[in-house]
Amino acid sequence: MASIAAAKVAEVRETTRVERVGAHSHIRGLGLDDSLEPRVVSQGMVGQLTARRAAGVVLEMIKEGKIAGRAILLAGQPGTGKTAIAMGMAQALGADTPFTSMAGSEIYSLEMSKTEALTQAIRKSIGVRIKEETEIIEGEVVEVQVDRPATGVGTKVGKLTLKTTEMETIYDLGGKMIECIMKEKVQAGDVITIDKATGKISKLGRSFTRARDYDATGPQTRFVQCPEGELQKRKEVVHTVSLHEVDVINSRTHGFLALFSGDTGEIKSEVREQINAKVAEWREEGKAEIVPGVLFIDEVHMLDIECFSFLNRALENEMAPVVIMATNRGITRIRGTNYVSPHGIPIDLLDRMNIVATKPYEEKELKEILKIRCEEEDCEMAEDALTVLTRIAGETSLRYAIQLITTAGLVSRKRKSNEVQMEDIKRVYSLFLDENRSMQFLKEYQDEFMFNDMGDSNDAMEVTDG
């Protein structure tokens, strides 16, 4: 029975280790050096040197807060790394700068108006860095004494002796503090901080002077120096929240719990105006500063004329993030009108944008990307198989070739091999069609299908934008 339980625990532990491999999970940044020059292969990025250099310049301006309220358009053919560049920018910005990603079609499926959905996305992309000073007690624990009543009933009393390199003080403990100390398992030799306002205790680690006390300290034990100076200190604490989070907290009776309830619904403009006024007041007093982040809208041609008009106005607002858009459309109809325009975006909005073009990858770049994806998907591939896959990527598309990596890996494992060979690639290539072979199949058997709009004289399908 015990062995079955142990097996189940092991199985659960194995499951928690599984990581989902996404289409851009190999991207770690933009792959630029200190002078913003792009490396050929770095941080998962390959090629697109001009586009990455442009993205790096934009990134520096975002970090310095000089480019808020601007729009960047990443324009290029499908599979040229537009989303990868946006993901690289998100990774390079770090966790402190807000980054919101959405697809153009998302706004039509939400239970709120289109402009409200865009407003919420914009406000998610603007951070407020709030500074506050708190008084803390920081020192090394010399001794903890807790006196329990002999009867076992009644309040506990105790004493806590803390020291720094210069002084030592004994504090009397109440019931609440004793509970906190017991919960955190504070013992002599620990370096702790106590927030005077809330009574919260945080363990920073063990003192270096106690490093030799125990042979059984685990590798995760962190050793720190004994604090210097006074025991009581004033410390500046910085919190970064998005404007949308502040909106939600102030517009719901549940307060911050509303953040966990999923769909936040529409927020009244009066609430937002009051929050903007309060944030402006904090900025003047030096309590807070605005952190303009990034709103990334993929497939931006899916937005309609109303959304574009709203974005035009929203970009002029003093509290606006950097809006990065991506599209793979050429000259096409603006959704909601009968007018055609480059990329399906109105000319007056295009005028406000810095357009960054992405170009098709060369053969050696395709090979490098496929090699990175093989590593990411933990798939060993023979050199000749990689060459064949690179040729397939050049003749069909990079996305199709990437999808063949996992399937070829499964086929090779079926024949008890740890390395994908050329015959595995050929096998999956014959099993799964690319779009050109699929179209050829439709041409050959068009009369067999239920509906067919392709005329006899047409050599290619004419796709109209609905």
Query: Tens-of-pLDDT digits for all 466 residues of the chain?
Result: 444 444 444 444 443 334 456 667 777 778 888 888 888 887 778 888 888 888 888 888 877 767 777 788 999 888 888 888 888 887 887 777 788 888 988 888 888 888 888 998 998 888 888 887 788 888 888 888 887 776 766 677 788 888 888 888 888 887 778 888 888 888 888 888 888 777 788 888 888 777 666 555 566 677 888 888 888 888 777 778 888 888 888 876 555 555 555 556 788 888 888 888 888 888 888 888 888 888 899 899 999 999 999 998 888 887 788 888 999 898 999 998 999 999 999 998 888 888 888 888 888 888 888 888 888 888 888 888 899 999 998 888 888 888 888 888 888 888 888 888 888 888 999 889 888 888 888 888 877 777 766 654 444 444 444 4
CATH, domain 22-97+293-360, list 3.40.50.360, 3.30.365.10, 1.20.120.530, 3.40.50.300: 3.40.50.300
Asked whether 65 and 82 are in contact (CB, 8 A), the reply is: no
Q: What are phi and psi of 27, to 5 degrees?
A: -80, 125
Q: Characterize 277-290 residue by residue with b for buried, 16 or more Cβ atoms within 10 angstroms of its Cβ, and e for exposed.
A: eebeebeeeeebbb
Give the integer Cα–Cα distance in Å for 255 and 406: 45
CATH for 363-448 is: 1.10.8.60
Asked whether 91 and 32 are in contact (CB, 8 A), the reply is: no
Cα angle for residues 160, 164, 167 (degrees, 5° grid):
85
Rg (CA), the chain: 30
Give the integer Cα–Cα distance in Å for 328 and 348: 19
Assigned fold of 128-286: OB fold (Dihydrolipoamide Acetyltransferase, E2P) (2.40.50)
Domain extents for the chain? 22-97+293-360, 128-286, 363-448
Asked whether 324 and 297 are in contact (CB, 8 A), the reply is: yes
- pTM tops 0.85, yes or no: no
Within 233-304, residue ranges assigned H as helices are 243-251, 269-285
